[in-house]
Amino acid sequence: MNDSLISFVNSGIENLQPYEPGRSIEEVVADYNPEKIVKLASNENPLGPSPKAKKILESLNESLSLYPSSDATSLKTKIAKFESVNNNQIIIGNGSNEVLELAARAFLNNSSSAVMSKHAFAVYKILTQACGSKVIEVPMINWTHNLQQFNDYCEDKTRIIFVANPNNPTGTFNSHSDFRDMMLEIPQSILVVLDLAYYEYVEAEDYIRTNELLDEFDNILITKTFSKIQGLASLRIGYGIGSKELCSVINKIRQPFNVNQLAQLAAIEAIDDIDHIKQSRDLNSIERDRMMAALESVGMECIKSQGNFISFKGDFNSEEMFLSLMKLGVIVRPIDNYEMLGYLRMTIGTPEENDYFFNHFKKLL
Ligand SMILES: Cc1ncc(COP(=O)(O)O)c(C=O)c1O
């Protein structure tokens, strides 16, 4: 490509820090070839996918040559029932990231701004900058979104507020009433994207009641994913729920066939596989408490998490610790890129995976 073309790249992209994914198992094998690998870097489900979803995947061989349902009609019907909304209030995405991206593309441009917390999920900043829009960051309080302040940070040109609840990478959550108070304060002309990727893991009281928010506010888009508790991260599927008008606008820029058929079928099975969801939630709850206590017992400062991960820091260099653990086959995540210097984030794995991590970690301290 010649230089003159590159000089026309949308403003914002030049200084954009691209998303840094966790190291993959393949990469770690290629670099270090450890005896065993425990991947605790990307907040996946250690129990894997719903067994019901796995079964349906096996039956698909015959129709691989056909395009998927462009509108994901059957899946939408299932989600609509599950979420007690209408089909036309749903957008299906190639991961919930795609829904976030569609919302950003629909509303952000170089004469707008988007508001989010400092230390919020990295994708919000990337999308905002990619649309040429200004990023406005609100400082957190105790690693938690300071929702009371959000309205003060909004400008006339603010078009989107992004809130992950619980937030990644802090794991902290905001109550339904705090969120609703923010909704009441901000102008209706701002779209609030409420990202509930870790919704099912939350045990705190007064957590978000999605239907009440959808009934009361038209300027809200709630996103959920099948990548976390449903354990379908590799299939890339998620969804957004909002008003009929909002979904109709955002759906206009969705590519046809954006979600493959395997993902649609697996999601239909996984969404109400209550046994798998309960088992995953229970495992996470017990192991999250156990790992938090273990980390604290060796002097770590942990951020109390409602998600399937814990961010913590201690008397170590996070980049060095990350590399030392990786050489031993344990993949966690340094989160310096979130301006959380010295912190590591571990995903809650199976008891055996967590022990493997912790036993190595202790020795490296
Ligand atoms: C807060 C948050 N939102 C969205 C996503 C993206 O999920 P998906 O796999 O559905 O694109 C993640 C993934 O880690 C996340 O942490």
Q: What is the mean pLDDT of residues 264-279?
A: 96
Length of the chain: 365
Nearest CA to ligand 1 atom 13: 197
Using the atom order of ligand 1, give the atom closest to the CA of residue 96. 10
Which tokens hold the place of 277? 């969801």
> Taking a C-beta distance cutoff of 8 angstroms, is the pair 331, 25 a contact?
yes
Pick the more confident residue, 18 or 194.
Answer: 194
Using the atom order of ligand 1, give the atom closest to the CA of residue 237. 10
Q: Exposed, middle or buried: residue 35 (CB in 10 Å: 0-12, 13-18, 19+)?
A: exposed
Strand runs labelled E in the chain: 38-39, 90-93, 113-117, 134-138, 158-164, 191-195, 220-225, 238-241, 301-302, 309-313, 330-331, 333-334, 343-347
Using the mean position of ligand 1's atoms as its centre, give its distance from the Cα of residue 97 in Å: 6
Q: What is the mean pLDDT of residues 283-302?
A: 98
> Taking a C-beta distance cutoff of 8 angstroms, is the pair 348, 38 a contact?
no
Using the mean position of ligand 1's atoms as its centre, give its distance from the Cα of residue 22 in Å: 13
Place of tokens 């020795």: 363
Using the atom order of ligand 1, give the atom closest to the CA of residue 98. 11
Confidence band, pLDDT 50/70/90 cuts, at residue 25: confident
Residue 125 pLDDT > 70, yes or no?
A: yes
Start-to-end C-alpha separation, the chain:
48
* Closest to 338 in 3D by CA, of 59, 165, 125, 33: 125
Using the mean position of ligand 1's atoms as its centre, give its distance from the Cα of residue 2 in Å: 35
Q: How far apart are CA 323 and CA 131, in angstroms?
A: 34
Place of tokens 């395009």: 67
pLDDT tens digits, 209-240: 999 999 999 999 999 999 999 999 999 999 99
pLDDT at 16: 79
Using the atom order of ligand 1, give the atom closest to the CA of residue 166. 1
Confidence band, pLDDT 50/70/90 cuts, at residue 1: very low
pLDDT at 62: 66
Other CB atoms closer than 10 Å to residue 84's CB: what's the count?
9
Q: What is the mean pLDDT of residues 60-83?
A: 86
Using the mean position of ligand 1's atoms as its centre, give its distance from the Cα of residue 275 in Å: 23
- Domain chopping of the chain, boundaries: 20-48+274-364, 53-270
Element (H, E) at 76: helix 73-83
pLDDT at 69: 85
DSSP label of 228: S
> Taking a C-beta distance cutoff of 8 angstroms, is the pair 312, 344 a contact?
yes
pLDDT at 357: 98
Using the mean position of ligand 1's atoms as its centre, give its distance from the Cα of residue 155 in Å: 27
Q: What is the mean pLDDT of residues 191-205?
A: 97
Place of tokens 């096996």: 58
SS3 265: helix
pLDDT at 20: 80
Pick the more confident residue, 211 or 257.
Answer: 211
Residue 2 pLDDT > 60, yes or no?
A: no
Nearest CA to ligand 1 atom 7: 96
Please give the mean pLDDT across all residues of the chain. Answer: 94
Query: Of 20-34, 95-109, 351-365, which gets the smallest average pLDDT?
Result: 20-34
Query: Of 2-16, 107-121, 144-158, 301-315, which gets the smallest average pLDDT?
Result: 2-16
Confidence band, pLDDT 50/70/90 cuts, at residue 93: very high
* Closest to 305 in 3D by CA, of 150, 196, 167, 128: 167
DSSP label of 213: H
Q: What is the mean pLDDT of residues 276-297?
A: 98
DSSP label of 199: G
DSSP label of 144: B
> Taking a C-beta distance cutoff of 8 angstroms, is the pair 129, 9 a contact?
no
Using the atom order of ligand 1, give the atom closest to the CA of residue 226. 10
* Closest to 96 in 3D by CA, of 267, 265, 249, 246: 267
Cβ < 6 A, ligand 1 pocket: 43, 95-97, 121, 164, 168, 195, 197, 225, 227, 233, 238
Nearest CA to ligand 1 atom 12: 197
pLDDT at 58: 76
20-48+274-364 and 53-270 agree in CATH topology: no
Pick the more confident residue, 17 or 73.
Answer: 73
Query: 53-270: what fold?
Result: Aspartate Aminotransferase; domain 2 (3.40.640)
Q: How far apart are CA 135 and CA 118, in angstroms?
A: 10
pLDDT tens digits, 238-251: 999 999 999 999 99
Q: In terms of CATH architecture, what is 20-48+274-364?
A: Alpha-Beta Complex (3.90)
Using the atom order of ligand 1, give the atom closest to the CA of residue 100. 4
CA atoms within 13 A on the CB side of 331: 22
Q: What is the mean pLDDT of residues 283-288?
A: 98
Task: Tell me the percentage of the chain whose pLDDT exceeds 70.
Answer: 98
Number of H-type helices and E-type strands within the chain: 14, 13
Using the mean position of ligand 1's atoms as its centre, give its distance from the Cα of residue 5 in Å: 32
SS (H, E, C) 82-129: HHCCCHHHEEEECCHHHHHHHHHHHHCCCCCEEEEECCCCHHHHHHHH
